[in-house]
Amino acid sequence: MNDHPLVSTQWLADHLSSPDLVVINAWMPPVTHPDAPPVYPEAHIHGAVFFDVNEICDKSSDLPHMLPQPHVFSSAMRKLGIGDGQTLVVYDDFGAYSAPRVWWTLRSMGAERVFVLDGGFPKWRAEGRPFEDAVPRRTQSHFSSRLNNAAVADIDDIRNVITSGARQILDARSADRFEGTAPEPRAGLRAGHMPTAQNLPFNHLLSENGTFLPREDLIKTFQEAGIDLNRPVTTTCGSGVTAAILTLGLTIAGARDLALYDGSWAEWGSRDDTEVATGPA
């Protein structure tokens, strides 16, 4: 394997029996359908463990699914049988939604060999590949969390970026939410975007079948959104989930100095001490 963050369904099928491989089903219901049930209990890739983004998070925060403390994350990974040195392949039920968030979380916590299944479970099933409903029994493993603080932006980091212009801000929400012409799906949030931010809805990085666009097409897409891939980028969205799709796409495109604003608009749009812009970027 190389440093490319995606693996194909064929690659996973060929390596599914590898002893150092752990498949992870990343789960989070869409904000528009918060009561949607996971597919995992009825159907998942052989041996996959279930990673619930809304459970493996900072439960003390009033913001949704914020990164947990490293020791809490280590404990959660140990219980899932995820340990140091393993090759981790993450997928989700929608193609590309919560899997990039779990990929980013694992990478931010120090895991080195983490990949996303391109096309996710929809592509796997469409190709007639096998799945199961049995919950695997994995031996607990030791996971050493080492939080990379540079990968995670907080509200003060965003304030500094807006003032200094040292980084680009890229928002994954839809254009109407970014411009403030559509209401936010979460109650109590103002409409609009952070000053200086550019907008690139996350679905613009994906093909019609849910796979990521080829690298050259991703580069062109980012450039057309006003992003200089040679300059630092901080991604954001509604709550830090689809921002990770941008982060994954930027990684594929060759960008390296990347951070993700974990609180995203759920934090920024809920406060009265943050500046909000409306209209196109």
**Segment 143-153, tens digit of pLDDT:** 999 999 999 99
> Residue 177 CB: number of other CB atoms within 10 A?
24
Q: Annotated catalytic residue: which of 90, 233, 237, 243? A: 237
Strand-pairing partners, residue 89, are: 23, 115
> Residue 11 CB: number of other CB atoms within 10 A?
15
Outline where the chain has alpha helix (H).
Answer: 9-15, 70-80, 99-108, 120-126, 155-164, 175-179, 215-224, 243-253, 264-268
Regarding beta strands 114-117 and 49-52, do their DSSP bridges make them parallel or antiparallel, or are they unpaired?
Answer: unpaired
Nearest to 103 by CA among 22, 5, 234, 9: 5
CATH of the domain at 29: 3.40.250.10
Helices (H) and strands (E) in the chain, counts: 9, 10
Same domain membership, residue 117 and residue 162 = no
| Domain boundary, last residue among 104, 120, 147 | 147
Quick: pLDDT tens for 71-118.
Answer: 999 999 999 999 999 999 999 999 999 999 999 999 999 999 999 999
Nearest to 269 by CA among 186, 181, 174: 186
In which domain, by residue range, is 60 found?
Answer: 6-147
| Domain boundary, last residue among 113, 147, 181 | 147
Tell me if 273 is assigned to some domain.
Answer: no
Same domain membership, residue 57 and residue 168 = no
How far, in Å, CA of 12 to CA of 127, rounded?
A: 13
Q: What is the mean pLDDT of the chain?
A: 97
Same domain membership, residue 158 and residue 136 = no
Tell me if 1 is assigned to some domain.
Answer: no
What value does the mean pLDDT take over residues 53-70?
A: 97
Nearest to 32 by CA among 238, 269, 178: 238
What value does the mean pLDDT take over residues 217-225?
A: 98
Number of domains composing the chain? 2
| Domain boundary, last residue among 106, 126, 147 | 147
Yes or no: say if 22 and 88 are a contact pair by the CB < 8 Å rule.
yes
pTM of the complete model: 0.97
Tell me if 189 is assigned to some domain.
Answer: yes
Same domain membership, residue 115 and residue 169 = no
End-to-end CA distance of the chain: 39
57 is catalytic: no
- At residue 2, does pLDDT exceed 60? no
How far, in Å, CA of 262 to CA of 254, rounded?
A: 22
Find where tokens 């439960």 sit. 59
Quick: pLDDT tens for 243-258.
Answer: 999 999 999 999 999 9
Same domain membership, residue 133 and residue 17 = yes
Q: What percent of the chain has pLDDT over 90?
A: 97
For residue 259, the SS3 value is strand
Would you list the DSSP string of 119-138? THHHHHHHTT---B-PPP--
Q: Sorting pLDDT into bands at 50, 70 and 90, what band is 1?
A: very low
Kindly give, in sequence order, each residue whose CB lies less than 8 Å from that of residue 178, ignoring residues fewer than 6 positions away.
171, 192, 193, 197, 199, 281
